[in-house]
Amino acid sequence: MIRRQRRTLPSIPAFVLLSLGFGLAGCATTSEPVEPPPPPVVQTLPPSFPPQDLVGSYGLAAYHKEEDKARTEAAAINQCRQPYVITMGPTGGVMMHLADQPTPTELRVKGAPGGKNFIGPADDPPGSQMDREVIQFDGRILILRFIDPEVHGRYGSMVYVRCPPEGAKKPRPRATAKPKPGAKPAARPAAAPKPVQPPIQRQ
């Protein structure tokens, strides 16, 4: 008598479940994208000048193009009729306006490596988004650049020119020599740019 062997079929549901299990395990071990590390914090150093050197009244204007810098300095002095006043703060900072803020805030003058100086909130390291970099300060002219590119794009670089003491006369421009007969007239200089409204309100 011949015995017929029964053929056993593999368990299809079990095979499918086993494959799905390996697939799910592979998904579970997939690594998530790693976030880039935060930028290094810039060390705060003593500034190149004491904050009290900023105290005073200034004519204020702004420029966007570097070629307008000199003419903007000349235009800023005409704003001394409504000067921008910088005073000392209660804890040793200076009272100035942050961008788009109607009231002044006490800010710190912060030094940074490379001889750089910044003006901004005391709790932020130098070069933070709310800071302004000191591009120039010689005791008379102060030029600040906003670190936030969006704010800088709207307002440009701010030029503060110290106002002369009350009663002091402005220096008169030098008289130009009269042209000789038959000489061609000199090219007329470009008009000074109009002062740009700063991103703050007057005190």
CB neighbours of 132 closer than 8 A, spacing ≥ 6? 118, 119, 120, 144, 145, 146, 147, 158
Over residues 152-162, the pLDDT tens digits come to: 999 999 999 99
Over residues 88-114, the pLDDT tens digits come to: 999 999 999 999 999 999 999 999 999
CA 150 to the chain's CA centroid: 8
Q: What backbone phi and psi angles, to 5 degrees, belong to 134?
A: -80, 105
- Give the H/E segment covering residue 22: helix 12-28
- Counting Cα atoms < 13 Å in the Cβ hemisphere of 124 gives 16
d(CA 45, CA 153): 28
Cα dihedral 109/123/156/138 (nearest 10): 0
pLDDT for the residue numbered 166: 73
Question: Which residue carries 């703050």 as its tokens?
Answer: 200
Domain extents in the chain: 51-162
CB atoms within 10 A of CB 180: 6
Over residues 26-64, the pLDDT tens digits come to: 555 556 666 666 556 778 899 999 999 999 999 999 999
